[in-house]
């Protein structure tokens, strides 16, 4: 969460970056979601790592920083299957499950996704410019896109 | 670029002697495969916060050629051989007899690199398995080109309870004809991997 500068999540594989911004108030934040859910949400010390705890925590942090939750823009990126191993086992599915869990948590929070770059087999680096809310995604193939 | 600070790192403390042996074995195997003089440059064991795993080894956005092996048996861990693209081409040429002009990884090159990963990874697993008297079997190698950080990021989950502080990471690099080459071996595991290293090392000294 920040009020200036650029927030970066380097080289996301199966993880998902959830970018929330309120450009009108120049507030933005990013959650780096590692897993879909925490088994014991009440006992979690690192809520930003799980989809079901990260989104509520991020919305609260943005509100406390002066952002308006009713005008938040949401963009997400990540959730790739970088390592195509293990058939239909846990590893190739975790990116997909992370994306699904993030979308579910966003819906529960009343947020809709403005843009996304998810799935596939490529890792991504995600940057959000706090002042403008602009989100840029870079892949190892050299692709760059604005969400 | 950020380099992950090692909370505990030392080249060859006695409790990690097994890693030095494994690295030497891997270097010997690489020498035999390539026909060049390859030595282990350094081997270190660190404990890395889960959130910083993608930063291990340097620039997380660097495109590498990774050779991945899962580990089955009595301990869950991962082995990743990380090569710069230039080194991957060079090693493939050394094994396949190319003239050094390779600039892509065709099926033969991928197969050669998979075998290199298999041999190197197995050197580490054999030392740990023998020393700890456990069964540690590598899965078939998988070769991929990707950001180093994205590969490590994808491997980290599931190894450790995310509420725990850190993962155990063993890093080794090599020299070729006396010069450093961009080859790194990453062995990732939970705290039990660290215990295996200590156990194997103590038995090697006994």
Interchain contact, B158 vs A94, CB within 8 Å: yes
Interchain contact, A94 vs B157, CB within 8 Å: yes
pLDDT digits (tens, 9 = 90+) for A34-45: 888 876 656 666
pLDDT over 90 percentage in chain A: 46
Q: Is the pLDDT of residue A85 over 60?
A: no
The answer to whether the pTM exceeds 0.80 is no
B27 close to B14: Cβ distance less than 8 angstroms: no
* pLDDT confidence band for B47 (50 / 70 / 90): confident
CB-CB: which of A49, A94, A124 is closest to B162?
A49
| Chain A residues with beta carbon closer than 8 angstroms to that of B146 | 82, 122-123, 140
Please name the helix (run of DSSP H) or strand (run of DSSP E) that holds residue A23, with its range, or none.
none
Cα–Cα distance between B60 and B56 in angstroms, integer? 7
Residues near A6 by beta carbon (within 8 Å), at least 6 away in sequence:
A127, A128, A129, A130
Q: Is the pLDDT of residue A89 over 60?
A: no
Please state the separation of Cα A139 from the chain's center in Å: 16
| Chain A residues with beta carbon closer than 8 angstroms to that of B61 | 10-11, 125, 138, 140
The number of beta carbons lying within 10 Å of the beta carbon of residue B45 is 22
Q: Radius of gyration (Cα) for chain A, nearest Å?
A: 15
The answer to whether residue A15 is catalytic is: yes
Cα–Cα distance between A126 and B96 in angstroms, integer? 38
pLDDT at A58: 93
Q: Is B68 left (phi over 0), alpha (psi -120 to 50) or beta?
A: beta
């Amino acid at each position: 969460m920040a009020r200036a500068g650029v927030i970066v999540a380097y080289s996301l594989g199966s993880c998902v970056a959830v970018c929330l911004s309120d450009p009108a108030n120049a507030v933005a934040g990013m959650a780096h979601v590692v897993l879909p859910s925490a088994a014991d949400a009440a006992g979690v010390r690192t809520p930003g790592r799980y989809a079901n705890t990260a989104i509520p925590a991020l919305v609260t942090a943005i509100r406390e920083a002066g952002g308006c939750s009713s005008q938040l823009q949401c963009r997400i990126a990540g959730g790739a299957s970088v390592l195509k191993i293990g058939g239909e086992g846990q590893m190739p599915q975790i990116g997909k499950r992370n994306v699904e869990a993030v979308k579910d948590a966003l819906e529960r929070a009343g947020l809709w996704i403005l843009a996304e770059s998810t799935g596939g087999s490529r890792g991504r680096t995600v940057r959000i410019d706090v002042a403008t809310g602009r989100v840029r995604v870079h892949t190892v193939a050299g692709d760059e896109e604005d969400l | 670029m950020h380099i992950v600070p090692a909370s505990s790192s030392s080249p060859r403390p006695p409790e990690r002697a097994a890693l030095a042996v494994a690295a030497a074995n891997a270097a010997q195997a690489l020498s035999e495969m390539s026909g060049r003089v390859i030595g282990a440059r350094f081997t270190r064991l660190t404990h890395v916060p889960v959130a910083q795993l993608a930063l291990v080894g340097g620039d997380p956005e660097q495109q590498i050629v990774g050779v991945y092996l899962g580990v089955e048996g009595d301990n869950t861990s991962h082995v990743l051989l990380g090569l710069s693209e230039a080194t991957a081409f060079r090693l493939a040429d050394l094994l396949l007899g190319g003239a050094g002009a390779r600039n892509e990884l065709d099926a033969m090159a991928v197969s050669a690199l998979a075998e290199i990963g298999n041999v190197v990874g197995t050197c580490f697993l054999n030392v740990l398995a023998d020393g700890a008297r456990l069964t540690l079997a590598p899965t078939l190698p998988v070769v991929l080109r990707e950001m180093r950080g994205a590969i490590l990021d994808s491997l980290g989950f599931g190894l450790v309870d995310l509420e725990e502080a850190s993962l155990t990471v063993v890093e080794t690099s090599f020299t070729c004809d006396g010069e450093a080459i961009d080859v790194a071996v990453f062995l990732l595991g939970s705290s039990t991997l660290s215990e295996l290293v200590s156990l194997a090392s103590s038995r090697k000294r006994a």
